[in-house]
Copies of this chain bind each other. A is one copy, B any other.
Amino acid sequence: MKVKVIVTTKANVLDPQGAAVERAMHSMGYEGVEHMRIGKYMEFELSAATEAEAKEQVERMCKVLLSNPVVEDYRYELEA
């Protein structure tokens, strides 16, 4: 099973990296860019007996290792 995880900072948390890239985009003439937010993308193969078990494992991985639930949100997709 292929797993794709996206982790982003929560909307109310400052994203200095996103702000910096946004400024760089503006300085390169891309004035139309706004609200830039930068996060992490992770993909991996996961062997699990069932999709339900895979889902449960990914939830735990996201909470414990792949994101910081205090300041980050996560979402994921499972592809059979």
Residue A6 at the chain B interface, CB threshold 8 Å: yes
Per-position contact with B for A32-50: 1 when CB-CB < 8 Å, else 0? Answer: 1111111111111111100
Decide: B37 and A21 in contact? CB cutoff 8 A: no
Q: How many copies of the chain does the oligomer comprise?
A: 2
**Category for how many chain A residues contact B:** 20 to 34
CB distance from A74 to the nearest CB of B (A): 11
Q: Which residues of A contact B (CB under 8 A)?
A: 6-8, 18, 21-22, 24-25, 28, 30, 32-48, 57, 61, 64-66
Instruction: Pick 8 A–B contacts, CB within 8 A, sort by A.
Output: A8-B43, A30-B61, A32-B48, A36-B43, A38-B41, A39-B40, A40-B40, A41-B41
